[in-house]
Chain A
């Protein structure tokens, strides 16, 4: 079975500060990992993905994530957040084992204070 855990339900960060969102996954083979962002009432936008290769992946909007197999983690980071980064963030795992169906974490709500 595949699953994702996002331990932090809600994170508040000051504008300009760094942000790290945690994601732990369970998957029976090499996972495909994704981070998506969702603004209120909107669909999901892909921030970045990891399939193979370099374990540090760069995404859009200045985000990056690092795949750590030994820790079954895929944490998302941004060095300096902007007010527009306030949103809901979802980590997802999928792959060939389950015909590329995605399992999502519960999400982390990010609030940015001025």
Chain B
């Protein structure tokens, strides 16, 4: 139980285009989803918190107009990187917290590797 999926696993795009990443909780309802960014050989940096049916809360320094988050249902959250630039290249990981036995535990997706050319 408590499986979280992400799609796509890898994406390469041209500078200036937008990319959408999906995060799904497969076997539980996620009241909250989190989006992280991880640079090579570094730890995870929380970008935003997404609650179903409400606006996402962004961490300091994260541009909300660049990283659009939608949490349309209890099993799906999306992150759209708008007007992507090479510096947006990174590993993006989502996690979900919900009713899978414990509301206090985050379960992580496998991550999405974004490369912007």
Question: Which residues of A pack against B, CB within 8 Å?
Answer: 32, 34, 36, 41-46, 49, 51, 90, 94, 99-102, 104-107
Q: Which residue of the partner chain A has the closest CB to B111?
A: A43
Closest Cβ–Cβ distance, residue B67 to chain A (whole Å): 17
Assembled-state Cα–Cα distance A99/B111 (Å)? 23
* A-B contacts, 18 listed (Cβ < 8 Å): A32-B104, A34-B106, A43-B93, A44-B44, A44-B95, A44-B108, A46-B108, A49-B105, A94-B104, A99-B49, A100-B32, A100-B103, A100-B106, A101-B34, A101-B46, A105-B43, A106-B42, A107-B42
Q: Which residue of the partner chain A has the closest CB to B105?
A: A49
Tell me what chain B mostly uses at the interface: helix, strand, loop, or mixed: strand
Task: Render B67-98 as a binary contact track against A, CB cut-off 8 A, 1 for contact.
Answer: 00000000000000000000000010101010
The answer to whether B44 touches A34 (Cβ under 8 A) is no
Assembled-state Cα–Cα distance A31/B55 (Å)? 27
Assembled-state Cα–Cα distance A41/B113 (Å)? 8
Q: Which residue of the partner chain A has the closest CB to B91?
A: A41
Q: Which interface class (under 10, 10 to 19, 20 to 34, 35 or more) fits B?
A: 20 to 34
The answer to whether A102 touches B104 (Cβ under 8 A) is no
* Cβ-based interface call for B8 (8 A): no
CB contacts (< 8 Å) of A51 on chain B: these are: 104
CB contacts (< 8 Å) of A101 on chain B: these are: 34, 46, 49
The answer to whether B108 touches A43 (Cβ under 8 A) is yes
The answer to whether A42 touches B111 (Cβ under 8 A) is yes
